[in-house]
Structure 1
Amino acid sequence: MTVLSVRNLNIDIPTGDGHVHAARDVSFDVGAEELFGIAGESGSGKSVLSQAIMGLLPGAIISGEILFEGRNLLTLPAREMQRLRGNRIAMISQDPLSSLHPFYTIGAQITEAIRIHRKVSEAEALREAVDTLTRVGIYDAEKRVHDYPHQFSGGMRQRVMIAMAIVLRPALLIADEPTTALDVTVQAQIIALLNQMRRELGTAIIMVTHDLELLSSIADHAMVMYAGNRMEFGPGDAVLGAPAHPYTLGLQRSSPNHETRGDLPSIPGQPPSLLVEQKACAFAPRCPAVMDICRQQRPPVRVFEDGTQSLCWLEDKASRTAAALAPAPEVPRPVDQPSDIVVSVSDVRLTYGGRSLFGKSINLEVLKGVSLDLPRGKTLGIVGESGCGKSTLARIIAGLLPPTSGDVTIEGKSVVDLDRASWVEMRKRVQMVFQDPFGSLNPRRRVGSIIGDPFRIQNVAHGAQRKNRVRELMEVVGLNPEHYNRFPSEFSGGQRQRIGIARALALNPSIIIFDEPVSALDVSIQAQILNLISRLQRELGLSYLFISHDLAVVRHVSSEIIVMKSGQVVERGDTETLYHNPQHPYTRELLAAADPHYRKSGGSFAVPPGELAP
């Protein structure tokens, strides 16, 4: 049974610069129990399409049909749409921090969603909230349901958003990058939970993601979008396993896998401006197999024997594969040379205390004696589940959080007791890229000012010189320099992450701490950023601490890896040894969960026991 049918959908969004053509002639169907994947770069129209289905594009000019259970959502009265939204149609937003109200506990926000659509008592709604939080991997849900969003890590906030979306057992669930901030074990649990919802409740799921490896292992059907166009569509294994369109092939090549070496082959150039209506093939300026006709006329839809449909002038899949999958030159990793230690962490501990419960003082030990060394010019990867202390350790090294005990030295100088003036000087050499791009950017300031702050604070550049250097940084990280005067809210999630990276690179620091730097980026830009930071490291001798839940990315960039669990280092070693011969059971568990074939088979990462009863 078809739950959602989108027909010839066109979306134009009026702006001060003109109409943004966010979607053009997009059609697809989603059936009950189906997982439908949508992939593409930031700005391709994925999230706008999701918002149109939810009725969250006021002022947009929308034509075509969006049929949900036989009713056209575009013609429904606002009150009817409000009854459907959250109840029959739910959405998991991409940015969990901005989607959760900071003044209310997560329990209050989930129970509010329940009681708006159901006549249940507050106590019963709270029990449902606790049960759902447990299912999505929130430990001690009975206690944590009374906590506020800022008391959760980025990954755990995403789990709260997922719980809020599924608590009403919707018929259609739109998941916009639902596993971006999650570590691999929790990601596997969430996928298992979504699959259980599909089987038991018949829920149809639309998953928007840039993780092609994940999508290829779970999607029944998939659609690849570019500049508002449906470039490729068909069965998930066919579209993502044997792509027909050069754009899909380019995305696939840009994705790091567990055997990737050297620079990643990224798609050259940038997506076109959606303010200009495309008369020919939108991908032609970046396509390795472009022909003259591609620049002159809109391509037809080609249908292949395996069920894939491709918006392309090329007729033969084999010729497309040969043209678009030319082997990229491999850049060998530099041979390890003896090097001095630029960051040394010695027995660092962090304990939060002072909280009183039933007259007793509670102390929470977050870090339990962590030690590590970072050699100059090297990358040390840090992996582990959300809440294990990775980001907390990074903030201590960056001087944003004082440790309870232990010592941190940077380039031979202890930084634990530095005064404010000394830290301002130290930050010329130590910079950080945060996990949450929106939360780390001032929403009231323009992007040019945000990226230029390091120059202003350190009194490095002024006036036109500062503006030119900011524009150069924007171009380096894949942002349009013309967007210098825009605000962070006018950028997609991936673009906001690039703003944070540009700001960190401004002063050419010797040490950069990357806390999930590419988790919000689509694969083509991810490849560009990973290649960029590798090139900068080779040319400038930079040292990196690289925190990520994406084990393929960590393996690609790191010469050594440490594995953290519950505030402790449980294993460390050079990258290849750790991947091929892990010693700790927890490390083996992480590597197993990162295997897409493991995900597809279900593995042992099932959701917590219980049934998803309607």
Structure 2
Amino acid sequence: MTILEAKGLTVDIPTEDGVVHAVCNVSFSVRPGSLFGIAGESGSGKSVLTQAVTGLLANAEIGGEVLFEGRNLVGLPQEEMRRLRGGRIGMIFQDPLSSLHPFYTIGAQIAEMVHAHEKVSAAEARARVIDMLGKVGIPSPADRFDDYPHQFSGGMRQRVMIAMALILKPALVIADEPTTALDVTVQAQIVSLLDAMRRDFGTTVILITHDLGLLSSVADDVMVMYAGHRLEYGRAADVFRRPAHPYTAGLLRSTPASYRPGTELAPISGRPPSLLATPAGCVFAPRCAEALPRCSNEPPPLRLYSDGVESLCWLEEGAGKARPAAKAVAAPVQAVAAEPVAEIEDVRLTYQIGSFFGPKRSLDVLKGIDLTIGRGETVGLVGESGCGKSTLARIVAGLTPATSGRVRVLGRDMGALDARQWREMRQQVQLVFQDPFGSLNPRRRVGAIIGDPFRLHGIASGEARRAKVRELMEIVGLNPEHYNRFPSEFSGGQRQRIGIARALALNPGLIICDEPVSALDVSIQAQVLNLLRRLQRELGLTYLFISHDLSVVRHVCDRIAVMQGGRIVELETAERLFAAPQHPYTKTLLAASKTIPVFEEKERRSLVETRLQVAS
């Protein structure tokens, strides 16, 4: 019995460059009351597939069948599809702030969903909305009904989106990356909430995510997509413990949680193919370490295994070992008392908030921070949103003045510098931002972007500057021949390398990495983390590393500072912190972190059936 079943689903999207084959002959079924996971890198077709199911791709050419409660959604008139959306099928989007209208209260927006599908009074709709807000964990829901989206935190806004999706008690809810930008504790709350709603209302959930640890902990069934194709499909426990397809195994190999700290990660080489042309053979063959000669020119068959896992692959015995032992790389040798690069002493920051004419009150953001970062060291900052991590980083970088306390970088007091000294100090502290595309000017060429530090500080010009930029591009793994390309012509991982090259230009004493890999797929994330560690070994760099992904922090950091409410509540070496956390808040963070199940070599699956695929 299934609530949703796709048969040979194809989605072609006409563009100026040609037809994009976004989804190619994908079939799957979702059991009622289950949590069905869809995983894969960006551009694999995950979101396009669910948008096609819900009728949100107006100009796309959709083929095949999508049966929802026995009714084919493909070709359904828009009026009927609108009645299904919200009423029987709910949607939870990745960015709740952009999904909620800033001019309307959250209560009015949820009530609008009720009025669009049912004839009820305003009082009844309000009562239902308040009840649902309470069920999704919004405190004092009656009081928050008339609040606006900007008055809620990221986690609370996501709860509002869940309330909106569940207000009509739909049979199916599609959650598209609902926890990507959230801290581990908030992420755990949202996932727990979705699971509770599934039990209480019998709602079926389709969860789209690139967080394999999260998916392995909650999903019943999982489908792994790549370049619009379904490469692996089966029960989540079987897929993650014994991946049958090399692509799934490659994703697992790329995850830092699968390695000992300090070891080299093994990312998937290359990049996804263009979707404008359908390849003759396996779409993953150009990046596959286990590819056979026939993989490049013959479409792979569908392999069915004894545990129910299905894999679109020529390998009869499935993929090799999911996470082989990685080659250990020696971490930077730390002296007993390394020369301090940054010294933070009793730093406090207080804001005065309130209306212009009304009374003001004080808000303490940082409440006495003490931290020393030694040369060649990586110190991690972890904690929930609003704890002061990024604010502290801005103070260290000199972008925000502290209310009191002292910050010394390379022995110089940041608060006592004149204009000339401050300009010199700007060379010593550089930042790598979370969003590589948002931090690069889309109208300027990459060579000019990386060369800006040399231009602004008058260090090099003309051919000398171009030579330095090309050298930096080679150091971070970019092709110097792409000097004149624009940021839009690079992948997400390559754009992050551009940001790293720009940060390295002036040989800084300290680099602040503010969530540098949180928006990247696990395979690209592994490439960037390897690059950061290699550059640290070769150039003796010092990092202040901010992240909400604890597996990433553990892998790259020598010491970790845990922040809560504007204070550092625990500071310890990475291994000691994870092995024996002392503060209750640290224990809460670690308990909320999701890890991937250990690969099992016992009880190897056997091949049951091979089906030749018909080209779509």
**TM-score band (shorter)?**
0.7 to 0.9
Task: Report the AA paired with residue 286 of structure 1.
Answer: R
User: Residues 50 and 496 of structure 1: is their aligned pair in 2 closer, same or farther, counting only changes over 3 Å?
Assistant: farther
- Shifted more, 217-226 versus 343-352: the winner is 343-352
Shift of 1:410: 2.2
Matches of 1:500 and 1:123, distance apart in 2: 52
Aligned to 2:23, the other structure's residue is in SS state: strand
Task: Report the AA paired with residue 302 of structure 1.
Answer: R
- Provide, for residues 408-464 of structure 1, a one-character-per-residue CA deviation record: whole Å limited to 9, x for no partner: 22222233466777656544332333445676566x746748955845655666699
Computing the radius of gyration over CA atoms, which structure comes out larger, 1 or 2? 2
Question: What is the aligned partner in structure 2 of residue 33 from structure 1?
Answer: 33
Shift of 1:304: 0.3
User: Residues 173 and 118 of structure 1: is their aligned pair in 2 closer, same or farther, counting only changes over 3 Å?
Assistant: same
Question: What is the aligned partner in structure 2 of residue 267 from structure 1?
Answer: 268
Question: What is the aligned partner in structure 2 of residue 562 from structure 1?
Answer: 561
- Provide, for residues 83-122 of structure 1, a one-character-per-residue CA deviation record: whole Å limited to 9, x for no partner: 3333432322233444344555555544444544445566
Shift of 1:481: 5.5
User: Residues 493 and 286 of structure 1: is their aligned pair in 2 closer, same or farther, counting only changes over 3 Å?
Assistant: closer
Task: Report the AA paired with residue 180 of structure 1.
Answer: T
- Provide, for residues 300-337 of structure 1, a one-character-per-residue CA deviation record: whole Å limited to 9, x for no partner: 000000100001001013xx325x65533111223322
Matches of 1:495 and 1:529, distance apart in 2: 9
Shift of 1:273: 1.8
Aligned to 2:354, the other structure's residue is in SS state: strand
Question: What is the aligned partner in structure 2 of residue 171 from structure 1?
Answer: 171
Question: What is the aligned partner in structure 2 of residue 76 from structure 1?
Answer: 76
Shift of 1:532: 1.0
User: Residues 492 and 45 of structure 1: is their aligned pair in 2 closer, same or farther, counting only changes over 3 Å?
Assistant: farther
Contact 2:253 2:266 in 1 (8 A): yes
Question: What are structure 1's unaligned runs of at least 5 residues?
Answer: 599-614
User: Residues 482 and 363 of structure 1: is their aligned pair in 2 closer, same or farther, counting only changes over 3 Å?
Assistant: same
Contact 1:377 1:542 in 2 (8 A): yes
Question: What is the aligned partner in structure 2 of residue 51 from structure 1?
Answer: 51
Matches of 1:173 and 1:129, distance apart in 2: 18
Shift of 1:80: 2.6
- Provide, for residues 323-374 of structure 1, a one-character-per-residue CA deviation record: whole Å limited to 9, x for no partner: x655331112233224222222222222232315996533322222222121
**Residues 421-570 of structure 1: pairs in structure 2 closer than 5 A:** 425-435=424-434, 445=443, 448=446, 451-452=449-450, 454-455=452-453, 457=456, 465=466, 469=470, 472=473, 476=477, 484-485=485-486, 487=488, 504=503, 509-570=508-569
Task: Report the AA paired with residue 333 of structure 1.
Answer: A
Question: What is the aligned partner in structure 1 of residue 284 from structure 2?
Answer: 283
Quote the RMSD (CA, aligned, Å).
3.7
Task: Report the AA paired with residue 281 of structure 1.
Answer: C
Task: Report the AA paired with residue 540 of structure 1.
Answer: L
**Residues 196-235 of structure 1: pairs in structure 2 closer than 5 A:** 196-235=196-235
Aligned to 2:257, the other structure's residue is in SS state: coil
Matches of 2:56 and 2:435, distance apart in 1: 23
Contact 2:257 2:595 in 1 (8 A): no
Question: What is the aligned partner in structure 2 of residue 295 from structure 1?
Answer: 296
Question: What is the aligned partner in structure 2 of residue 361 from structure 1?
Answer: 360
- Shifted more, 328-337 versus 243-252: the winner is 328-337
Matches of 1:478 and 1:186, distance apart in 2: 39
**Residues 142-181 of structure 1: pairs in structure 2 closer than 5 A:** 149=149, 157-181=157-181
User: Residues 540 and 310 of structure 1: is their aligned pair in 2 closer, same or farther, counting only changes over 3 Å?
Assistant: same
Question: What is the aligned partner in structure 2 of residue 236 from structure 1?
Answer: 236
Give the fraction of aligned pairs with identical amino acids, expressed as a percent: 58
TM-score (norm 2): 0.85
User: Residues 2 and 477 of structure 1: is their aligned pair in 2 closer, same or farther, counting only changes over 3 Å?
Assistant: farther
Matches of 1:353 and 1:572, distance apart in 2: 29
Shift of 1:510: 3.5
Aligned to 1:75, the other structure's residue is in SS state: coil
Aligned residue-pair number: 592
Question: What are structure 2's unaligned runs of at least 5 residues?
Answer: 598-616
Contact 1:473 1:502 in 2 (8 A): no
Matches of 2:88 and 2:485, distance apart in 1: 40
User: Residues 439 and 71 of structure 1: is their aligned pair in 2 closer, same or farther, counting only changes over 3 Å?
Assistant: farther
Matches of 1:449 and 1:84, distance apart in 2: 50
Contact 2:410 2:509 in 1 (8 A): no
Question: What is the aligned partner in structure 2 of residue 377 from structure 1?
Answer: 376
- Shifted more, 240-249 versus 425-434: the winner is 425-434
Aligned to 2:3, the other structure's residue is in SS state: strand
User: Residues 156 and 302 of structure 1: is their aligned pair in 2 closer, same or farther, counting only changes over 3 Å?
Assistant: same
Aligned to 2:371, the other structure's residue is in SS state: strand
- Shifted more, 1-10 versus 458-467: the winner is 458-467
- Provide, for residues 564-583 of structure 1, a one-character-per-residue CA deviation record: whole Å limited to 9, x for no partner: 11221111111111111111
